[in-house]
Structure 1
Amino acid sequence: MTPPNRGLIGLGVGLAAAGVATAAGVAAGRVNRERTARLSVLAPDGAYAHVPDHELAVIADDGVPLHVEVDEPAADAADAAKPTIVMSHGYTLSLRSWVLQRKALQRAGYRVVLWDQRSHGRSEVADSDSCTIEQLGRDLHRVIEEAAPEGPLVLIGHSMGGMTVMSMADQFPEVVRQRVIAAAFVATSAGGQNMMTLGFGQFVGRLLGRLGPRFLARIGTQQKLVNTARRVGRDVEDLIVDHYSFASPVAQHTIRYTGDMIMGTPLSVMADFLPSINVHDKQSALEQFHGIETLVVNGMQDLLTPPDHSEAIVRLVPGAEHVVVEDAGHIIMLEHPEVINEQFLELVERGMRASAEHIDIGRKPRVRRTVTDLQKRRRVAKARRGSSRGGRSA
């Protein structure tokens, strides 16, 4: 029998937790209504809609089907000399995270290949033992073999996708040396340090690294209950997604779009990948990108892969260009799409020019630039002023 005082304490804790959850829900609802009313201009209807030109299933070397999409340039913009751009998404996301970049690259006349990493998006859920960064590198190689078998390449990876690119380069260096003219590492890490800090520091990070997989695996057995909780507490979920994904105002539609990707990933899959991410170390693989035009991008307020992770990559790749975006979090390509689109287009142009003119990239000085998305700031300020005037006149 439970002692009375322990039962009262438990009841008190339960009521307190319920009160905190209710208060959080009310606060989150208020924030979300503000986004819906004022910031929808940042993600208008149809902004994230896209239909690929081709879809295919690429079979990984262990038999897992991988979902792949291809965008072809318009006939009047097609140029055989232009590279194919292969984009790899991050942990708990999907190829949908690149929707605004794929549109911009296709409009500029490039062929774009995107894929869902194993157990993510529309790719098949794989055995937990195969959910490693090494296997993802082999998966990317298979995608290239099937969807971009010849011609120059540009490799772009976000977060875990950047690790995938490093892993592929480590295992298949000839592909990088012979075909890759440019690479972009976005909000990612070469490893060699604890990856799971979540902004709480290394001590808590090490604790999360040990306990996170077991915790996720345990609650992953109750996925239906988790899905029900999501529907009930959607406002709170949005607040959490916003905090860890972005560092500037975004539209409510962007929060939901991101949250649906993250929480659409089964908790068991999250648990499967965490151990490999936490011990990831591909610093030596970056040697394969020496002499290749390389862009490293991160958000200044990124809680998952802070700027020091990007700085470590830059130190290991001579001639790499480092761009730090102010007021930006981890999902930077949805938060500041115009900035990222511009950086990618400039990177590809630099890579084509370096390849054609045999420029010695290693002799370039390292460049570190801090970029402020002034266009977005103006749009947010204008939206808020317009909403305020509308509220006063109502």
Structure 2
Amino acid sequence: MRAATPSGTERSTVVTDDGARLTVYTDGPSRAGVTVILSHGFLMTADVWRLQARELSAGGVRVVRYDQRAHGNSVPGRAALTVDRLGADLAHVVDATTPHGPIVLAGHSMGGMAALTVAARHPELIRRRRPHVALISTACSRAQLVPGNHPLHWIKAAARAGYSYPLCWFPPAADVARRRLPSRHQWALRPETQHDGGTPPPSRQAIHRTPTAQIAQLWKSLRTYNTAEMLHALDSLADRVEIVTGELDDWIPLSQTHELARQLPNARMHEPVIGAGHRLPTDRVGHAAVTQVVSRMAKEALRAPASTASPR
């Protein structure tokens, strides 16, 4: 199902093998020579990529964004909410929206973990399509509550523990509390609402329709996620893979970024963006670096020999 919108963004739905309905937003010319597929992070929506989508599509690149299952306008299917499932979803989006031609995959935070999971669980897709891959503010090992040794990080870790443990162990009580929050609050639960615009809802509305039990299920998966020693297909792409992070990332510590680089010795690791935090695609100083990397990858993918693609 596809629909054009006044914004020029085409909205469509990809249905996965377990019945999840992923809302996809496509910008740029339909016959562009290269497609960039953007995957967002935990408690965000495809809107986090709005700056990159605007600039890339204006430059003639086709851009595909989507809301992760249980986020934004996408609804979960029958399968458990895990990072492995998000990787399978990304593979579905690639096959459904861009079965042929050069592609660039860019994943931020949990979206980067989904891309790494594709490489670990679906290496045949990586070998067949040979995408350029941008791994942004992400890790190949489990999410950590404490992202570093600075005292401020410990304070933030305590705050995260203060809400993550009740979410994980008392979802019904958390739902009651969330229904009492003001409707504009990020954690408010309003399952009857829906963002009807052609563009993705802002990230502050990412989980307004998501029951706490589903958020908890995904958070537990993030806390046990690991693709280390499983990234050989991705490493074989060599300089088609680039790692980007912010100097002040308070979710993914630099130690995890360095571990990812060790797992991908042939990839290019950029120097951390000075003064930038975790939400790099929209960071006031970091967004330009993300756009530059992805834009250059799109140009390189366009110049590279065409990859083959047959149905999986």
Shared topology, TM-score over 0.5?
Answer: yes
| Residues 338-386 of structure 1 deviation map (CA, whole Å, 9 limit, x = unaligned) | 2221121123334455x4499xxxxxxxxxxxxxxxxxxxxxxxxxxxx
Deviation at 1:87, TM superposition (A): 0.8
Deviation at 1:207, TM superposition (A): 6.2
Match of 1:307 among 228, 231, 254: 254
Task: Tell me which structure has the larger Cα radius of gyration.
Answer: 1
The aligned residue for residue 197 of structure 1 is 146
The aligned residue for residue 61 of structure 1 is 17
Comparing both chains, which one has the higher relative contact order based on Cα–Cα distances under 8 Å and sequence gaps of 6 or more? Answer: 2
Structure 2 residue 76 is matched with structure 1 residue 120: no
Aligned equivalents of 2:266 and 2:126: distance in 1?
16
Aligned equivalents of 2:260 and 2:232: distance in 1?
10
Instruction: Indicate how the Cα distance of structure 1 residues 69 and 259 shifts in structure 2: closer, same or farther if over 3 A, else same.
Output: closer
Instruction: Indicate how the Cα distance of structure 1 residues 303 and 210 shifts in structure 2: closer, same or farther if over 3 A, else same.
Output: same
SS of 1:104's equivalent in the other structure is helix
**8 Å contact 2:19–2:77 — kept in the other structure?**
no
Deviation at 1:334, TM superposition (A): 0.7
Deviation at 1:322, TM superposition (A): 1.8
Deviation at 1:167, TM superposition (A): 1.4
Match of 1:157 among 102, 107, 115: 107
Deviation at 1:105, TM superposition (A): 1.3
Structure 2 residue 286 is matched with structure 1 residue 330: no
The aligned residue for residue 129 of structure 2 is 179
Greater percentage in helix: 1
Code of the aligned partner of 1:195: Q
Instruction: Indicate how the Cα distance of structure 1 residues 168 and 52 shifts in structure 2: closer, same or farther if over 3 A, else same.
Output: farther
Structure 2 residue 169 is matched with structure 1 residue 214: yes
Match of 2:29 among 52, 73, 80: 73
Task: Spell out the pairing of 1:335-354 with structure 2 (5 A cutoff).
Answer: 335=283, 336-353=286-303
**8 Å contact 1:72–1:111 — kept in the other structure?**
yes
Task: Spell out the pairing of 1:1-394 with structure 2 (5 A cutoff).
Answer: 51-73=7-29, 79=32, 82-126=33-77, 130-191=80-141, 193-197=142-146, 199-200=153-154, 213-215=168-170, 218-227=173-182, 230=185, 258-261=203-206, 267-292=212-237, 293-323=240-270, 324-335=272-283, 336-353=286-303, 355-356=304-305
TM-score when scaled to structure 1? 0.63
SS of 1:55's equivalent in the other structure is strand
Deviation at 1:285, TM superposition (A): 3.2
For these two proteins, the number of residue pairs brought into alignment is 279
SS of 1:226's equivalent in the other structure is coil
**8 Å contact 2:26–2:64 — kept in the other structure?**
yes
Greater CA drift, 177-186 or 211-220: 211-220
Deviation at 1:226, TM superposition (A): 2.6
Code of the aligned partner of 2:113: M
Structure 1 unmatched runs, 5+: 1-48, 234-255, 359-394
Structure 2 unmatched runs, 5+: 148-152, 189-200, 308-312
SS of 1:348's equivalent in the other structure is helix
Instruction: Indicate how the Cα distance of structure 1 residues 305 and 216 shifts in structure 2: closer, same or farther if over 3 A, else same.
Output: farther
Greater CA drift, 152-161 or 214-223: 214-223
Code of the aligned partner of 1:283: A
Percent sequence identity over aligned pairs: 25
Deviation at 1:200, TM superposition (A): 2.3
SS of 1:299's equivalent in the other structure is coil
- Give the alignment's Cα RMSD to 1 decimal: 3.3
Instruction: Indicate how the Cα distance of structure 1 residues 115 and 139 shifts in structure 2: closer, same or farther if over 3 A, else same.
Output: same
TM-score when scaled to structure 2? 0.78
Instruction: Indicate how the Cα distance of structure 1 residues 123 and 51 shifts in structure 2: closer, same or farther if over 3 A, else same.
Output: same
